[in-house]
Structure 1
Amino acid sequence: MAYNLQPLITVLQGILDPDQTRWIVHENNPQFQSILDKATSLQQLLDKSSLTKLDSQIREVAHRAEDIIESRMVHQMISGYNSAIFTFTTPDLQQVILDLDSLMKQAETLVEMEDNKMLPELDSAMEQLKLVEMEDKKMLVGIDEDLMQLKDRLNRAEKKLEIVPIVGMGGVGKTTLSRKLYEDPLIVDHFDYRAWTTVSQDYNMRQILLNLLSCIIGKKECDQHMQKERHELKDVLYKSLCGRKYLIVLDDMWSTKFWDEMRMYFPDNNNGSRIVITTRESDVANHADSSRSQHQVQLLSESESWNLLRQLVFGEEECPLILQEIGRKIANDCGGLPLAISVIGGHLSKMDRSEDVWRKIGDNVIAAIGGSDKRCSSILSLSYNHLPNHLKPCFLYMGAFPEDCEISGYKLVYMWIAEGFVKSNGERSLEEEAEDWLKSLVDRNLFLVRKYKYGKPKRYSMHDMLRDICIRKSGEDMFLYGPNKSTFSNPRRMSFHTSDELEDVNDSTKSMSLTRSVICAGFRNAEFPSDAFLAARLLRVLDLTDMRFLYFPTVIFELVNLRFLGIDCDSSIPRGISRLWNLQTLIGYCQFDEPAELWKLSELRNLEVNEIELLKDEEMNYSVLKKLQWISVIQSIEETTTWDGVLKSIPNIKRLTIDDGFGTKSTAIDLSHLHSLEILTFSHMRTISSPDGFCCRFRVIFPCNIRKLVLLGCAINSEAWGTLCALHKLEVLEMKYCTLESEEKCDEEWEATNGDEFKREEKCDKEWEVADGDVFRSLQVLHLDSLDLVRWIADETNFPRLDHLRLRGCRNLKEIPSGIGDIPTLKLIELVDCSESAEDSAKTIAEEQSENGNDNLKVCIR
C-alpha cells in the first residue's frame, strides 16, 4: 500500500496543538513544524495517486521520526511523572527533514510519469466476452430467487429508463448472475439491443465504447468506426440507441467518474430500457441511481454451499457417504463464497476420492484454495488495491483478530483513532470520521456486519478469504506480525491468539521496544508477561479485554504513551491510572479505587467501565474533560453527593449513563448545557420519591439533541410524557423494568395507605395514556421491556414515524392499541414473553392491515 503518514502527522499535531498544556516546545519548534508540513504535503500527493514504489523508504523515514520523538516524550514523562508540564527537547531531526524533501521530489517525478502513462487497450468485445465465459458456468446454485427478482425488474411495465445495480463482494457471483440474466430467452426477446462490457478498475473508455458498439451494430460495422476519436464514438453510441429498447450491462464498475462520463450517452427513450451495473461498492451503485434499491447478492447458505461443491466434484453422481461429513465441512469453510467453492471444487475433482485426502484439505481449506489457484486471491485482492490510502490500514487492522471473531464497531473506531490513522476533518469529531470509514468498508463489501440493533450495525467480521489476503498484505507491508513469525524484529503491531504465544514473548523483550500495538484476542487465561511489556514503552494500543486477570498488572502504568487500554480484572484498578496522560479510550471491566484520578486524564475521549462512583465534589476535584464523548456509567453511592459537578466537567459528552440507585441530595438534573448529548441512559431514577412523607418530584432538564433515551428501573409519572414528547429529535425510546404511575391517583393512594409504599404501588393504576397533543415526532423505535403496564391508550397520531415496536415481558398488558397498526411507517411489531391477549391484539392488527392492502407490517411473536 502507499504508506500512510497520518500516525506521524497525528503525533506532531498533538505536540504543536496550541490548546495542549502538557508540552512546552522551544528550540526545535521549527523542525517539528517543518516535518509536519512536509509529511502533510507528501501524504496529500500519495492520496491522489496509486504510487507504491517509495513505500519502504517512506515507511522507514516516518517510523524513524516517530521513534525519535515518542521515545524522548516517554523518557521525559517517566523521569518526571510528578510534573504537570514538560519542556520538549529532542535529538536533531534535520536528517528526517532532508529525507522527506528527497522523497517528495522522487514522488512528484513518479506521479508525473504515472499521469503520462498510457493504459493498455483491451481486446475486442468478442475477446472480452470469452474472458467472461471462462468463469465456471456451474456456479449457478442458489441464484434462482435472484434471477426471478431481477427479471421482474427488467420486464416490468415501467417505461422510464431504469438503472439496476447488482452489488456484492468479489467472487460472490455478480458476473455469473448478470450473464445468466443477459442470456435468458425472455430477456433476449424483450429488448431490441443488448450490449455487455466489462469496465474494471483501470478502464479504457475508447475500448469500452467499441465493445458496446460491437454488440449493438455488429463487429463489421463497428470496425468502420475504429479510427474515430472518443467523443465521436460516444455520439455514434447515443444515435444507435435512440428510439430503441435496449439493455446495457456494465460489469465490474468501480468508479463514479466512469458513470458521470457515460451517463448522458444512454438516452431515456421512455420505452422500458434498462442498464444493469455490477459493482463491489455500494457508493458506486448509489451514485448511478439512489432512487431505487440495490440488488445485494448474498453469500450462499450451508446447504447451497454443499450442493454447489457436490455438483462441481461429482456432477450427476452421488457423493459417497464416507465423504459427506468432511465434504460439508469443506463447503462451510468457504464461507458461502461461490468463487472459493469453485476453486476448491476444481481442486477436489482432480484428487483421489478418499477420506484421508479430503480430511487433509479440510484441515486448512483457505490455504488449499490459495495454493491450488491464484485466481481467487487475485480477484479478491482487487478490492484491497482499489481502497483509498486512508482505508488500507483500517482494513489491515482486522487481521489482528482471530478467524470468525466479531468485533464491536466502537472498539475498531477507538483503536484506529489511538493508532493515529484518523485525521480531523473540520467540525466533525474523530469518531464521526472513523465511523464513516467503517461504513465505507462495509459498503465496499470488505467488512461483514454480523449484528444489528434496531437496524444499525453493531458488530463486524471479515470473510475468511479476505482475512487471508489481509494477513498476507500485512506481512508484505510490515504492518502486523504475530509472534510465530520467524522474520519479525521490532514489529509495529503484534497480535496474540493463544496463551502460549503471549507467554513466550518474554523471551524476546528487545523485539518489542518499538512496538506500538499489542492485541490479545481469542483466549481467556494467561500469565501477564510483565518484562516484555515493561520494554514496550512506546505502546499506543493495548487490548487485553478477552483475557481475565485476578489483579490489575500495575506495570501498565509505566506505558505512558498508551492511547487505548482494554482490560478485564476481578480487582479494582489501583491508584496510578492518572499516569497514562495520553489515554484516549479506557475499556475496563473492573472497579476503581480512585475514581477521581480519571478526571486528570485530559485526553480521555471514551470511558467504558463497569461503573464510576460519584463522590462529593470536593473529593472528585473535577477538571473539565473537553474531549470526553462517552461515559458508560456514573453511579451515586451516597445521598450527600450531587450531579452538578460531574455534569459541568463533561461539556461535550455524546453518550452517558446515570445510575441514581443509591440516591443523591439533588432534586433535579440539569443536562441542558450538554448540547452534544445524543444517547442517554437513566438507571433507577426517582421520578417520584417520598422522603419524610412528602411527595417530591425529581426533575430532569433535557438537552435538545437526544436521539436515544433508555430508562432502566425508573419510576415514571404522567408529567413525564409531555417532557419526552418535547424531545423532537428522539428516535429510540427504551423503557425497561420501569413503573408507570398516574400522578393524581398515586397521590390519593399515598394518603389512603398512610405512606405504605408497597400498598400504594399495588393500588396505583398501571396505565399509559398518551394524550392527543403528545406526539413523538421523530420516534422510530419503541421498546417496552418488563413494564407493569396494564392498559396502553394511544393511536397513530402519537407516533407518526414509528418503524419498530418491541414488547418484552409485558405480561399484564391487555392489548396493543389498534390505532398503532395505522402508522404508515410501521414495519415490525415484536412480542417476546407477553400476555396472550397482547399477542392476539398484535395478530388482529396485522390481519386488519393485510385486509387493507398493507403487506409491509410484520408481526413476530416468541
Structure 2
Amino acid sequence: MVDAIVSVFLDRLLNALEEESHFLIEIRDQLKKLQRELRLMQSFLQDAERLKRKNESLRAIMVTLRDLIYEAGDILADCQVQSEDENDTVSARCTMCFHPSKLPVHYQAGKRLREINENITGIKQDMSTYLGVSLLNQTGNTDEDRHLKPSWSTPLYDHSKVVGLEGDTEKIKDWLFKANDDILAIGVVGMGGVGKTTIAQKIFNDRRIEDRFERRIWVSVSQTFTEEQIMRTILRSLGDASVGDDKSELLRKINQYLLGKRYLIVMDDVWSKDNKWWLQIYQGLPKGNGSSVIVTTRIEEVARKMGVSEARTHWPKFLSEENSWLLFRMIAFAATQGECIHSELETVGKEIVEKCKGLPLAIKAVGGMMLSKEPYYHEWRRIANHFRDELAENDDTVMASLQLSYDELPAYLKSCFLCFSLYPEDCVIEKEQLVHWWVGEGFVPLRSGRLSAEAGGHCFSELTNRCLVEVVDKAYSGTIYTCKIHDMVRDLVIKMAEDYAFFKPNELNCRHLGIKGDMNRKQIMANQKLRALLTTTKSGEVNKIASNIANKFCRCPRLQVLDLSKSIFEIPLSSLLDEIGSLPNLACLSLSNTHPLIQVPPSLKKVHKLQILDISYCQNLKLIPSYITTFAKLSVLDASHCGSLGYFPKGLGRLLNLQVLLGFKPAKSSQEQGCRIAELKNLTHLRTLGLHLSQGDEIGDDEVDSLVNLQELQFLSINCFDSHDEDLAVKLDKLTPPRQLHELGLKFYPGKISPDWLNPHSLPMLRFLSICSGNLTKMSEGFRGNGNVVWKIEGLKLEALSDLSEEWSVVPQVMPSLRTLNVCWCPELEGFPIEDAGFKGGVWKKEEQQR
C-alpha cells in the first residue's frame, strides 16, 4: 500500500514544512525535494499497486519505495523531537545551528535524506519503464483531493435492508413455529457471500421470533475455536460472565439457565467436521418446548453431523436478475433513494451487476464502491473494465469484487481498512478504537480545516458505505458503536496486510501488533519498527497480561498508538508504564477499563505529541494530573465512568485543540486546584462534551453562560447520577447550550420539570434527544413550541422515566419530523400507541412496561 504510505507521509511533511522549526532548517531543502518527487509519482502509484500483483520486478520496486518512505518518516520524526527538546529562547535560536553537539545530527539526517532522494529518483525512472508512462514531466496533481470532498457526512445506505430473502426467511420461520419435541436442528448451507448469515440475522431479529423464544443466543463459531469458548459465549448471552468455571460447570450453568424455557441458538459459520464439541454441548441442552438450533455453514457434511436432516436444510439461491439490480441500486444510488437518475449509467451498471452472478456480498461490495464514484459514464466504464480483468485472473466472483473494491479505495482509506487485519475472526470491533488509532497514526487526512474527530468519523462512514464494514450496534440516533467484517473480507484484508508488511502475525519486527494474553514477548522487545500496539480481544473477553511482557511496552521508540484497554495486570499499571515518557512519538494512549490503574503514569508529562488520552471506565482512578493541561495537541480526553474521580485539574481551558471531552467533573468552589466549568468557554473547537454534575455548587451564578458560545459543539450529554442537590436543577435550568446543538442527552436529570431552554426556539437545530432516568414528571411549557416554531427532532429516546405523566398525542404534533422513537419503562406516559398508521418511514419501538 505504497500509495497509502506516501499519502500519510506527505501530510506529515506538509505540516512539518509549515512549522517554524529551526532544527529543520538544515534538512528543509532535502525535505522539499522529497516532497516534489513523491507528488510526481503519486498519481501513478495506484496503477502500480494493481500491476505489481502480476510483475515481481515492480513488486520489488514498490517494497523498496515503501521502506524508504518509512525511513524518511522516522528521520522527520526524530528531527521534530530534537526541535521540541530545544529551549525556545533567543539565545538558543542564535547558537543552535552552530552548536557542535548538533552538527552530527544535522549532518547525518541531511546525508541520509540525500541518499533517499537519489534512490527515489531511480525508482521513478524504473516505474516509468514498467508503467509505460513518463513521470518526469508530470504536474504532480492527483485525484486525492476529490476523495477528501465527500458528498455525505453520515452513512447513506441502510445496512438493515435486505433484498430477495423474504422467501428464505419465511420458510425457516415456518419450520421454527412448527417445532415441538426435542431440539429442532435447521441448516442454512451455501457458498461464501450467498447470504447465509444475513438470513439467520433476519430471522433472529424478527419480532415474532422474539415473542416465541424466551431466550435467543447468537454464537459466531470461528475456524479456530474451543468447546470452552463456545460455552462461555452462550453464557455471556445469558448474562453470566462465568469467570473461572471449568467445562462441566459451564455446561451445568447453561442447562440451568435454559431449563423449562423455549430457546433459539444460532451457530453461525461452522467449519469443523469434527462434531465432538457439539455433541458435548448438545447433551447438556434441555430438550423439548419447541427449542431450536440454526446452523449456518459452507459445508453440508458439517450440518449433517450437527443433527440437521436434509428436510430441514435450506440452500439459499442466488439473487434473481431483478433483485440483483434492485440491491445494487439501493446501495450505488443511495444518495437518490435508489433511483438511477443518470440514464447512461444503467447499461454499464447492469453489466457490472451481471458479473456479480447474483451473490449478495459481491453486489454490495461493488455497489458500495460505485456509491463513492462520480456519476460519469467514463468512470463507471473504467470500473467495469477493471472488474472484467479481475475476474479473468480470479474466477471467485466475491473475492474479485472485494479486490476491486480495495484497489479503488483512496490511499488514506487503504491504511484505515488494513487495520482490521489485527482483529480475530468474528470479532466485534469498537468504532471509537479504530478512529482513535487512525488519528493517532496519522492515517486520517486533515485538510480544509477539518477537525480530527470529524475526519476520523468520515473515514469510518466511507468504509461502511462501501459495504466493506458491517454495522453491529448503533444508537437510536444512528451513531455507530461497533462493527465487524465478513469472513471473506477478512481473508482479503489479511492477504493485503501481509503483502504490504502492515501486519504479519509471526513477524518479530512488525509495525502493527495486537495484544493478547499469550503474545510472543520477542515481538515487542526493542522493536524498532512498531507503530501501533493495541488490544484486539473479542467482546466480553479481558486480556490478562504478564508483567514481563507489559514492562516491555515502552521499549518501542517508534510507537504512536498504545491501547491497553480491557486488560488486567499483575501489578499497578502506572509502575509498568514508568518509562512511557521515552515514547516521544506517542499520539494515542488508551488505558480504558484497565486494572489496576490507580494513577496516570507520571512520566507521561514528557510526551508532548499526545493527541488522544482515554482513561474511561477506570474506577480506581482518583486524580487527573495537572500536567495534562500542557498537552497542546490533545484533541480527545475521555474520563467517563471514572467513579472515584473528584474533578479535572485547573487550566483545562488552555487545551485549545480539544474536540472531545467526556466525563468532565467541574470542581466545587472549595476545590481551588480544580477546573471550573467557566474554563470551557475557551475550548472553541469542542465538538463533543459529556458533563458529570452532582451539586449546584459546581456551577457558579456567573458561569451559566459557559457553553452558549461554543460554536463547534454538536453533541452534549449531561449526567447527574447520584445527585441529591435540589440547587443543581435550578443551575441546570440556566446552563443554556449553544443554539446549533445537534444531539442532546440528559441522564438522571434532578428536576421535576424539564429545563426552560429545552424548547425548539432555543435549540432550533436539535435532531436527536435522549432523556433517561431521573425525577422528571412533566415537560416545560416551552417544550411544546408554538404554531410557528416546532421541533426538527428526528430521533427521540425516553427511558426509565417512571414519573413522566405527559399525554403522548402532543409529541407527534410538536415533532413533525420524528422518524425514530425508542420508549422504554415510562409507565405513566399516557396514550402511547404500539402502532400508528400516521407514522411512516420510521420505527416505533415500545418495550414492555411495568406499572
TM-score by length of 1: 0.60
When residues 810 and 143 of structure 1 are mapped into structure 2, their CA distance, relative to the original with a 3 A threshold, is closer
1:778 equivalent among 787, 792, 796: 792
Residues of 2 paired with 1:610 and 1:829: CA distance? 30
Name the SS for the 2:814 alignment partner. coil
Residues of 2 paired with 1:251 and 1:804: CA distance? 25
Query: What is the CA distance between 1:382 and its match in structure 2?
Result: 4.1
Aligned to 2:28: 29
1:621 equivalent among 651, 659, 665: 651
Alignment of 1:56 with 2:48, yes or no, is: no
Residues of 1 paired with 2:90 and 2:487: CA distance? 49
Q: Is the 8 A contact 1:74 1:537 kept in 2?
A: no
Aligned to 1:219: none
Q: Is the 8 A contact 2:128 2:134 kept in 1?
A: no
When residues 815 and 24 of structure 1 are mapped into structure 2, their CA distance, relative to the original with a 3 A threshold, is farther
Residues of 1 paired with 2:373 and 2:584: CA distance? 49
Alignment of 1:701 with 2:701, yes or no, is: no
Alignment of 1:789 with 2:822, yes or no, is: no
Amino acid at match of 2:41: L
Residues of 2 paired with 1:84 and 1:494: CA distance? 44
Aligned to 1:664: 698
Residues of 1 paired with 2:191 and 2:452: CA distance? 30
Q: Is the 8 A contact 2:531 2:558 kept in 1?
A: yes
2:483 equivalent among 460, 470, 481: 460
Query: What is the CA distance between 1:256 and its match in structure 2?
Result: 8.7
* 1:271-286 equivalence runs, <5 A: 279=363, 280-283=365-368
Alignment of 1:582 with 2:612, yes or no, is: no
Q: Is the 8 A contact 1:811 1:833 kept in 2?
A: no
Residues of 2 paired with 1:548 and 1:607: CA distance? 22
Alignment of 1:500 with 2:515, yes or no, is: no
Aligned to 1:518: 533
Aligned to 2:119: 99
Amino acid at match of 2:609: N
Q: Is the 8 A contact 1:614 1:634 kept in 2?
A: no
Alignment of 1:413 with 2:435, yes or no, is: yes
Q: Is the 8 A contact 2:623 2:646 kept in 1?
A: no
Amino acid at match of 1:805: L
When residues 807 and 81 of structure 1 are mapped into structure 2, their CA distance, relative to the original with a 3 A threshold, is farther
When residues 35 and 464 of structure 1 are mapped into structure 2, their CA distance, relative to the original with a 3 A threshold, is same
Residues of 1 paired with 2:327 and 2:721: CA distance? 55
2:564 equivalent among 538, 544, 547: 544
RMSD of aligned alpha carbons: 4.7
Amino acid at match of 1:70: A
Aligned to 1:302: none
Aligned to 1:471: 494
When residues 249 and 610 of structure 1 are mapped into structure 2, their CA distance, relative to the original with a 3 A threshold, is closer
2:425 equivalent among 393, 403, 409: 403
Alignment of 1:69 with 2:76, yes or no, is: yes
Query: What is the CA distance between 1:653 and its match in structure 2?
Result: 0.8
Q: Is the 8 A contact 2:436 2:588 kept in 1?
A: yes
Residues of 2 paired with 1:289 and 1:648: CA distance? 41
Alignment of 1:16 with 2:30, yes or no, is: no
Q: Is the 8 A contact 1:2 1:51 kept in 2?
A: no
User: Over residues 395-448 of structure 1, what are the superposed CA-to-partner deviations in whole Å (9 max), with x where a residue is unaligned?
Assistant: 211011122111122221221122222222314334433333322322333212
Aligned to 1:803: 819
Q: What percent of counterpart residues are identical?
A: 19
Name the SS for the 2:828 alignment partner. coil
Q: Is the 8 A contact 1:611 1:633 kept in 2?
A: yes
Name the SS for the 2:121 alignment partner. helix
Aligned to 1:832: 847
Alignment of 1:607 with 2:637, yes or no, is: yes
Amino acid at match of 2:459: W
Aligned to 1:724: 759
Query: What is the CA distance between 1:719 and its match in structure 2?
Result: 7.1
Aligned to 1:42: 41
Query: What is the CA distance between 1:283 and its match in structure 2?
Result: 4.3
When residues 541 and 779 of structure 1 are mapped into structure 2, their CA distance, relative to the original with a 3 A threshold, is same
Residues of 1 paired with 2:66 and 2:38: CA distance? 12
Query: What is the CA distance between 1:721 and its match in structure 2?
Result: 4.8
Query: What is the CA distance between 1:630 and its match in structure 2?
Result: 0.7
Amino acid at match of 2:698: T
Q: Is the 8 A contact 2:732 2:755 kept in 1?
A: no
User: Over residues 165-184 of structure 1, what are the superposed CA-to-partner deviations in whole Å (9 max), with x where a residue is unaligned?
Assistant: xxxx995349xx9xxxxxxx
Query: What is the CA distance between 1:539 and its match in structure 2?
Result: 0.3
Query: What is the CA distance between 1:826 and its match in structure 2?
Result: 6.4
Query: What is the CA distance between 1:811 and its match in structure 2?
Result: 3.0
Amino acid at match of 1:39: L
Name the SS for the 1:701 alignment partner. coil
User: Over residues 773-796 of structure 1, what are the superposed CA-to-partner deviations in whole Å (9 max), with x where a residue is unaligned?
Assistant: 595522111111222212336153
Name the SS for the 1:681 alignment partner. strand
Aligned to 2:150: none
Q: Is the 8 A contact 2:742 2:767 kept in 1?
A: yes
User: Over residues 679-725 of structure 1, what are the superposed CA-to-partner deviations in whole Å (9 max), with x where a residue is unaligned?
Assistant: 10112299997669x97774122212211101111234657355432
Name the SS for the 2:461 alignment partner. helix
Name the SS for the 1:281 alignment partner. helix
Query: What is the CA distance between 1:81 and its match in structure 2?
Result: 13
Query: What is the CA distance between 1:480 and its match in structure 2?
Result: 0.9
When residues 826 and 386 of structure 1 are mapped into structure 2, their CA distance, relative to the original with a 3 A threshold, is closer
Aligned to 1:736: 772
Amino acid at match of 1:670: S
Amino acid at match of 2:69: A
When residues 45 and 627 of structure 1 are mapped into structure 2, their CA distance, relative to the original with a 3 A threshold, is farther
Query: What is the CA distance between 1:735 and its match in structure 2?
Result: 1.0
Query: What is the CA distance between 1:262 and its match in structure 2?
Result: 9.6
* Structure 2 portions without partners, runs of 5+: 53-57, 97-101, 136-162, 171-189, 199-320, 334-338, 357-362, 376-393
Alignment of 1:635 with 2:636, yes or no, is: no
Residues of 2 paired with 1:554 and 1:774: CA distance? 61
When residues 3 and 826 of structure 1 are mapped into structure 2, their CA distance, relative to the original with a 3 A threshold, is closer
User: Over residues 525-544 of structure 1, what are the superposed CA-to-partner deviations in whole Å (9 max), with x where a residue is unaligned?
Assistant: 11242553343011011121
User: Over residues 129-183 of structure 1, what are the superposed CA-to-partner deviations in whole Å (9 max), with x where a residue is unaligned?
Assistant: xxxxxxxxxxxxx96637999xxxxxxxxxxxxxxxxxxx995349xx9xxxxxx
Amino acid at match of 1:514: K
Query: What is the CA distance between 1:829 and its match in structure 2?
Result: 2.6
Residues of 2 paired with 1:288 and 1:74: CA distance? 40
Residues of 1 paired with 2:545 and 2:722: CA distance? 43
Amino acid at match of 1:524: N
Query: What is the CA distance between 1:678 and its match in structure 2?
Result: 0.6
Aligned to 2:599: 572
Residues of 1 paired with 2:92 and 2:670: CA distance? 35
User: Over residues 490-530 of structure 1, what are the superposed CA-to-partner deviations in whole Å (9 max), with x where a residue is unaligned?
Assistant: 3222223x32215x237x624x1221111232252112425
Aligned to 1:243: none
Q: Is the 8 A contact 2:760 2:785 kept in 1?
A: no
Aligned to 1:438: 460
Name the SS for the 1:712 alignment partner. strand
Q: Is the 8 A contact 1:640 1:665 kept in 2?
A: no
User: Over residues 745-777 of structure 1, what are the superposed CA-to-partner deviations in whole Å (9 max), with x where a residue is unaligned?
Assistant: xxxxxxxxxxxxxxxxxxxxx999735459552
Residues of 2 paired with 1:374 and 1:266: CA distance? 25
When residues 144 and 537 of structure 1 are mapped into structure 2, their CA distance, relative to the original with a 3 A threshold, is closer
Amino acid at match of 1:499: G
Q: Is the 8 A contact 2:369 2:408 kept in 1?
A: no
Name the SS for the 1:737 alignment partner. strand
Which of 1 and 2 has greater Rg? 1
Alignment of 1:7 with 2:14, yes or no, is: no
Q: Is the 8 A contact 1:814 1:835 kept in 2?
A: no
